[in-house]
Structure 1
């Protein structure tokens, strides 16, 4: 059961203390190189438990710079190691040899433990300091995977709200750019991807240039689908104030919003300190939907039962005849306070499903086995129950509410950019700093990513020109490598980046915003590449480019102001 009142507030503070200002990152694999998801990670200083995401990675906030982590996974030997906030930790777990395989691990049995590990420990780890991508020379290509997420932006906002500097390793500029997703461009009917580029002067170094790539994937075909009305009942109680809860929901929602059609409708029931409704937003008003999501703030108790009943009332009021009508409950725990109320709610959910309104439940910050109530409700509601472990998993769970066919339009996606050595003396990719082998990889050896319907990414390169020569038409060539879903044959799309530079002041607004956010990220990382740009310059640029006439712009300006105050007094 969820705690309420003062107890809930105390627990929330315990999960993320106000003094927290460090960040642990890394990934977990097995001996075959397969990434392990949902590996339990126990932080020794607090006893708190986290899990690796879908791609074996983890990101943990901490109140101290140095700690020890224990990794536990069913069928594998436990492993404990020290970690520093300045390291990127790579762990490889060894499978247990039968018959010594222990019984299934339950998270509750791991909090906390005392004494020695009952199983032998196998250690194979490499620690790599997180470094910023340097400038490169020569004609070599640079490759990167095609699906960064956006959770870093939420974590940055969280640290600044606490009044603390943001750990350098928590600042991932590619994720900040992905969170805003400025400019989706529809590919041509026969194309799977669309790529466009802009070449502008660099706002933090007038002698340099910025090359901006905008890569967008095709939308899935939903022309035969009936209109839908999705009612989201979202838990915004105090316990959702953790990096792997409400921020994960906000980041994962954006791809769903991009795939909504004009004939679709979305409603929100928020429950926490207040129970509120925002009903009937058409899919054409995507900015309004994003604004509604962004304004969710965790606070108070968790009246989940009342919220779910209200969500059904909204679903009935805006019911689309011959359409797809469903309620989606997103929470981190149980809904009802006692067994009687739970039984009554199960009966209500079953009745509503018979009336044509199914219920799906999504758990955040929990595992599949931790919330039997959610799984029972989803079963009675003739919907699905799943847990959201990371943003890409969240995107897929939410997209699934529209159409499963939207989950993948391309697999093993990676992008390679090669530069004309006559025009370009040196270049560097902004962001992607945690990809340890990024600069040495080629597209053929890189592990690509799955891309969903209407996925879009913004990529920035900082360029040191060798010479200006307008007779050379192309400054770079972009190569998008991918496989069709379920196929192994690799395909490639090529795009030539025109050598047509323009002053930064004449650039389109989405590009200006992207450059502004990249500069903000580099200042948070205290990057040497922007050492000549002061926080006052950053704030001035932000106020000029972000108009401040909508909630998201105003919030971003406030983040920059908070960061300036924190870092100038650091």
Structure 2
């Protein structure tokens, strides 16, 4: 037995001695943010081996890709890390990360008449909720951001005629479907819809996570197909680069004309997953590429495609946000595209997009990729207004209580509204943004106990106004905000039967989101009521998104039993 073991070991050592020494992967050196450098500097350098079959694939060096010296090699391909690493880096199930938040609370107009928040055009929560329901699970409450469910859908709002005023506000008031004592104030804004031919040239950097955790069809496989859809929308005026990261970072594709789709698609097709996740190195290198090819008066954007599982490198959350914010100020924005399950980091993806002047989408199907990266490409890439803030002041003669539905992590202090140094959300071309307040009119029973010492309000001849709406925004290249404002009057109130389909469908989505969270304010309103409201207000549905929503409500109803 021992003799056999000794012979086997001798043979193994002899075989190993005949192999080439494995090259060490070099990490990218960065000079921008000292904090990030320190955190990245001590990370282990993974070793990459190359077999004869892999000779034409890319080796990630951390700064540039080392290619085989062949005259026919006209582009780079990513060299997959050893497959033996995959099993050790696959995450356990249900290691997903979500930011905890409490529901918006009821406010007294007497003590707090003003509400201020940043807009939100993210839709990631809706697609993620859909994924969970389709997997047979009721979503955890922190995965449900009601405003992202509402804003997943486009609404038929009036839009501006030119970019001088990039959006218009639309308001509608009718009784609440779930509370006979309350009304819903529906605020909708729609951005100017710039046609594709008018879109400025784009400098896009695809930052792709090729770590071991991405080794599944719903992650790297779907990611490749999704980005191929986007490249088909590019023109000769656009530039596309590809940066990858695992244990190290590397450039897979130098800036390439957007109409060279075969070359871009071929680079994407060669990507393979393996290794740990040094996302910080990848982000640094992607920004370096974007800044080197900056397009003046154009779109300069990084699209990071990942499951968000940054388990090696700069995992300090605030440091990552600080880096993204610094680069945003230099003209490079960041959009996050989330993929996968089990270890998905929703919190990181949403917050990075927020500070990067971008939007966050979760891609669970190729249909969703087509929605975000084809149908809504201008909204995704082309910002028409930044730092958009909404402030509403309720008239205490008319309204006694209110609550904002959703937008929990978009709250701003009232003084932040006029402070141009305070960052807020962006709106893309053609984007619609919807906010819904549930309000209690004077004389109706609200949620709060009556105040003993509440004073009578002195009339200022504004009793025909329910509220006063103000919106601040900046042009994409400006640092000083502009103000838009409108009164909201009592004569705008409609009966629920007279309300628009847009109003009623948005209310159905809002109710659904609240049911998934806990339904605190919905009284006896249930999934069947949501279904009735949604079916009766579906209206035009050219892409089938509203019909799909109705199916999801039915699915949630069955799972909740």
* Number of aligned positions between the proteins: 377
Matching of residue 152 in structure 1 with residue 125 in structure 2: yes
Q: Write the distance in 2 (CA, Å) between the matches of 1:364 and 1:511.
A: 46
Q: Structure 2 vs 1, CA of residues 441 and 558 (structure 1 numbering), >3 Å: closer, same or farther?
A: farther
Q: Write the distance in 1 (CA, Å) between the matches of 2:495 and 2:417.
A: 32
The structure with the largest helix share of the pair is 2
Deviation at 1:497, TM superposition (A): 1.7
Q: Structure 2 vs 1, CA of residues 387 and 426 (structure 1 numbering), >3 Å: closer, same or farther?
A: same
Q: Write the distance in 1 (CA, Å) between the matches of 2:157 and 2:243.
A: 30
1:518 is aligned to: 510
- Do 1:186 and 1:218's aligned partners in 2 also have CA atoms closer than 8 Å? yes
1:451 is aligned to: 427
**Structure with higher RCO (Cα < 8 A, 6+ apart):** 2
The correspondence of residues 283-298 of structure 1 with structure 2, limited to 5 A, is: none
The correspondence of residues 167-566 of structure 1 with structure 2, limited to 5 A, is: 167-189=140-162, 190-220=164-194, 239=216, 241=218, 359=264, 367=279, 386-388=303-305, 390=336, 392=353, 407-435=382-410, 438=412, 442-444=416-418, 446-467=422-443, 472-499=463-490, 500-546=492-538, 551-566=544-559
Secondary structure of 2:408's counterpart equals coil
- Do 1:325 and 1:357's aligned partners in 2 also have CA atoms closer than 8 Å? no
Q: Structure 2 vs 1, CA of residues 154 and 420 (structure 1 numbering), >3 Å: closer, same or farther?
A: same
The structure with the largest strand share of the pair is 1
Secondary structure of 2:151's counterpart equals helix
1:133 is aligned to: 104
Deviation at 1:461, TM superposition (A): 0.5
- Do 1:202 and 1:210's aligned partners in 2 also have CA atoms closer than 8 Å? yes
Q: Write the distance in 2 (CA, Å) between the matches of 1:421 and 1:406.
A: 41
Please, what is the CA RMSD of the aligned residues?
5.7
TM-superposition CA deviations, 1:13-69 (whole Å, max 9, x none): xxxxxxxxxxxxxxxxxxxxxxxxxxxxxxxxxxxxxxxxxxxxxxxxxxxxxxxxx
Q: Which runs of 5+ in 2 are unaligned?
A: 1-31, 48-84, 90-97, 247-251, 293-299, 306-334, 338-352, 361-371, 445-458
Secondary structure of 1:206's counterpart equals coil
Q: Write the distance in 2 (CA, Å) between the matches of 1:108 and 1:479.
A: 53
Q: Structure 2 vs 1, CA of residues 487 and 405 (structure 1 numbering), >3 Å: closer, same or farther?
A: farther
1:286 is aligned to: none
TM-superposition CA deviations, 1:388-442 (whole Å, max 9, x none): 452557759969x98899733333221101111111110111001234x547664
TM-superposition CA deviations, 1:79-121 (whole Å, max 9, x none): xxxxxxxxxxxxxxxx89xxx76616479799989xxxxxxxx
Q: Structure 2 vs 1, CA of residues 105 and 495 (structure 1 numbering), >3 Å: closer, same or farther?
A: farther
Secondary structure of 1:205's counterpart equals coil
Q: Write the distance in 1 (CA, Å) between the matches of 2:536 and 2:198.
A: 44
User: TM-score scaled by structure 2?
Assistant: 0.53
TM-superposition CA deviations, 1:524-549 (whole Å, max 9, x none): 11121013112222223233333697
Secondary structure of 1:521's counterpart equals helix
Q: Write the distance in 1 (CA, Å) between the matches of 2:527 and 2:380.
A: 45
Q: Structure 2 vs 1, CA of residues 129 and 74 (structure 1 numbering), >3 Å: closer, same or farther?
A: same
Q: Write the distance in 1 (CA, Å) between the matches of 2:132 and 2:379.
A: 35
Q: Structure 2 vs 1, CA of residues 178 and 129 (structure 1 numbering), >3 Å: closer, same or farther?
A: closer
TM-superposition CA deviations, 1:108-144 (whole Å, max 9, x none): 799989xxxxxxxxxxxxx996211111112521011
Q: Write the distance in 2 (CA, Å) between the matches of 1:132 and 1:405.
A: 28
Which of 41, 47, 53 pairs up with 1:103? 41
Q: Write the distance in 2 (CA, Å) between the matches of 1:152 and 1:538.
A: 19
User: TM-score scaled by structure 1?
Assistant: 0.52
Q: Write the distance in 2 (CA, Å) between the matches of 1:473 and 1:364.
A: 64
Q: Write the distance in 1 (CA, Å) between the matches of 2:384 and 2:464.
A: 32
Q: Which runs of 5+ in 1 are unaligned?
A: 1-72, 77-94, 114-126, 250-269, 272-295, 297-303, 335-342
Secondary structure of 2:418's counterpart equals coil
The correspondence of residues 62-101 of structure 1 with structure 2, limited to 5 A, is: 76=35
